[in-house]
């Protein structure tokens, strides 16, 4: 296999690990900020690295539309194009294409869709997705799959999962193996335990460098998601990384790490940074709220990001009210740093076998809510 994964330590179902790629090593459990169009929105890549992020996620759908995989390849690959020399994982494009209601046509062969930008027609198949991700020079390529919104009837989920498994096989066959690069399979099966097992078995039979748990965070709510995570990660190989796609809120992540997940991605920290929401030890804070207007305290006293080190809540509130770009820049930075601090805390807790205490304290603090107004 072309990606090396080490499990350094285990506590309960949780694992402390290291995933080695051509562009560097990722400490797991890991959170991957999302760089949709070849940029983590409102962040310099060196700032993303400064938060502690060791890997980014790039979106195949967005990049194949603009600027196009051929151009990225011509420019030396996505790392060079976007000035990020650390690992990159790319999704398959499937999830976003499937979300284009009315603009797509799905067959066994693949999916035909129209660009949301200019209406231009595109075709995406397992083979095509592999080709694109190869051109992007992605360290971790994801299989093309279909993803069903939950809740959904058993037969619907089953049929979709079965096609995803055929696509997984085609993806693996089309993937070009290289040292330091790898491909992840994606488990489907919705919230049906037997389907999750069939899917996991099929993926193991094909063989992958890592295994994603797909089809969650698609409307089922945290309770159902945790119910699935109570069994789904255990169906996947012990010696490979497990990646929960599109998750999530800080409390989702803590719950998923407790259940044996190693990798995460989500637009939550970046998107929230553009809508005035900040994540903190004591839960989310909307900095637009008038109570911050004259508050000369930092957003979060313990945080070491530029926002918390150099500015008051009053200043960020002011920037927000004036729709200043710097508000977005600082809040995005803070949120990504918050997520990385959370992952660092989780890793340290597993290393010290104190994960349960860490999680208990985390949930307790989150429930407290933001500090009292001055």
Which residues are known catalytic residues? Answer: 91, 265
Q: What angle do CA 58, 64, 69 make, to 5 degrees?
A: 90
- Give CA–CA dist 39/240, Å, rounded: 28
- Work out how close the CB of 125 gets to a second copy at its nearest, in angstroms, rounded to a whole number: 25
Is the separation of the CB atoms in 123 and 110 below 8 Å?
A: yes
Distances (CA, A) of 30 to 16, 145, 175, 246, 343: 10, 23, 24, 13, 6
Taking the C-alpha atoms of 270, 276, 280 and 285 in order, what is their torsion angle to the nearest 10 degrees?
-150
CB of 127 vs a second copy, minimal distance in Å = 26
Nearer to a second copy, 8 or 374 (CB): 374
What is the C-alpha separation between 52 and 337, in angstroms, rounded?
7
Positions that interact with a second copy (CB under 8 A): 37-39, 41-44, 62, 66-67, 71, 74-75, 81-83, 293-294, 296, 306, 310-312, 314-315, 318-319, 321-322, 324-326, 328-329
| Cβ closest to a second copy, residue 70 vs residue 364 | 70
CB of 56 to a second copy, least distance (A): 13
105 vs 293, beta carbon nearer a second copy: 293
d(CA 116, CA 252): 30
Q: Quick one: tokens of 333?
A: 């930075």
Distance separating alpha carbons of residues 35 and 63, to the nearest angstrom: 10
CB of 96 to a second copy, least distance (A): 15
Considering beta carbons, is residue 42 or 343 the nearer one to a second copy?
Answer: 42
């Amino acid at each position: 296999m072309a990606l090396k994964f080490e499990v350094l330590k285990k506590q309960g179902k949780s694992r402390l690990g290291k995933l080695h790629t051509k562009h560097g090593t990722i400490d797991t459990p890991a959170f991957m900020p999302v760089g949709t169009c070849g940029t983590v929105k409102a962040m310099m890549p060196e700032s993303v690295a400064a938060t502690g992020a060791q890997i980014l996620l790039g979106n195949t759908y967005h990049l194949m539309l603009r600027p196009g995989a051929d151009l990225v390849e011509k420019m030396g690959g996505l790392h060079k194009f976007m000035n990020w020399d650390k690992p990159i994982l790319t999704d398959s494009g499937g999830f976003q294409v499937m979300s284009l209601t009315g603009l797509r046509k799905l067959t066994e062969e693949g999916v035909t869709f129209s660009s949301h930008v200019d209406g231009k027609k595109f075709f995406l198949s397992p083979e095509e997705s592999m080709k694109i991700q190869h051109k992007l020079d992605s360290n971790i390529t994801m299989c093309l799959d279909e993803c069903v919104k939950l809740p959904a009837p058993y037969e619907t989920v089953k049929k979709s999962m079965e096609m995803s498994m055929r696509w997984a096989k085609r993806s693996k066959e089309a993937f070009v193996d290289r040292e330091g690069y790898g491909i992840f399979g994606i488990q489907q099966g919705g919230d049906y335990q037997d389907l999750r097992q069939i899917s996991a078995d099929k993926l193991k039979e094909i063989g992958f460098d890592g295994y994603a748990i797909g089809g969650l965070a698609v409307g089922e709510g945290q309770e159902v998601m945790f119910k699935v995570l109570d069994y789904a990660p255990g169906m996947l190989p012990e010696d490979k990384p497990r990646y929960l796609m599109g998750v999530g809120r800080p409390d989702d992540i803590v719950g998923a790490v407790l259940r044996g997940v190693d990798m995460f991605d989500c637009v939550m920290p970046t998107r929230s940074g553009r809508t005035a929401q900040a994540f903190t030890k004591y839960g989310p804070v909307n900095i637009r709220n008038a109570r911050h207007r004259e508050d000369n305290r930092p957003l979060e006293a313990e945080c070491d990001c530029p926002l918390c080190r150099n500015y008051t809540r009053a200043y960020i509130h002011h920037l927000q009210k004036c729709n200043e770009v710097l508000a977005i820049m600082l809040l995005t930075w803070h949120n990504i740093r918050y997520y990385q601090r959370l992952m660092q805390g989780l890793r340290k807790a597993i290393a010290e076998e104190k994960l349960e205490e860490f999680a208990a304290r985390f949930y307790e603090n989150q429930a407290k809510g933001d500090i009292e107004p001055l």
